[in-house]
Structure 1
């Protein structure tokens, strides 16, 4: 029966995906005597270990929307679920193999993970990868067999924040996405049309300038 360990060797944006996607380079090792692997159906839950890094004052201010005032962070700073991902590892016969785990990313600011990434200036994002899935292999008689990946199998990985920033810049250069309800959008669209603004950026800038003048 195969006994696998999994590590992360790096991360990079996928430049050709339809939506923002990171690739985590996974390295799979067989502990002990290797057996011929037919395939692995690998599922991964990715969590952000928020308590395992330092936050500068500016970062603390931006993250108050998630965790409240910094004075309460000893109670509120908890692990965040980022996303789930799956990948099929192809056949291999040696001790190790590599595969890219695709990680779908969102720029929706209604999601806690997006707010978290946006609130950081620099450094790394501490990740915890929790694995499950099935390993299909050949036993000593050459028959096809199946084993489950241990629920204890996990990987800690420090994702460079710049990798995430580079990915978002690749997909949304100098842009941010803001979702509003239909009534707000229609009111903003009517204001834009009535005032003759060429785009929504100009309409919002005009409204902000007016609000600043009246403040």
Structure 2
């Protein structure tokens, strides 16, 4: 047995593929609309996250010198436990091993430019922009996955507060839909984020973008707390 202070907690998994989905929390889409975000957030947006960008609990989120609008997105990540393809909704939950916390770090200034061409790529895939942890909790220990409290704090200030009960689709619907590609054990799928991101703050989001020295705490009920510090790129 080791005390927590004696060990370094690494990212619990570097997925073979990580399918990111968005628009599943409709409150997030609504806040974007109200904030005048220039691009709509329809349901079932999807793109791939870069496995090489994965970091874990207590690792530093590195802010590149060319990024001016660094943002956070608290999400639940689904960990696949068995190989499936084109799985029916009614059987999709059996393909899940468990769940972990995911912070989808985003460079909004890059994202905004990319989305002019219909892309979501580098703005969400730079080094250290995929934060996972602190552990994977098997689904048997979660209970009702559609009723978990979620909160992200920056320097102790609650920025994103919500619940998986506000998902407009079920977890098994997400897995079923994206099993049009073969899902293998260790693959991951995200749920999309809850409301409260910096980019959609009114009237001016500027003070809410992440900066050097900020400490983020991501917490999801039954899973735990993941802490990371933002540092400027050297």
Q: Which has the higher contact order (CA 8 A, sep 6+)?
A: 2
Larger radius of gyration: 1
- TM-score > 0.5 by shorter chain: no
TM-score after normalising by structure 2? 0.28
Considering fraction of residues, name the structure with more helix.
1
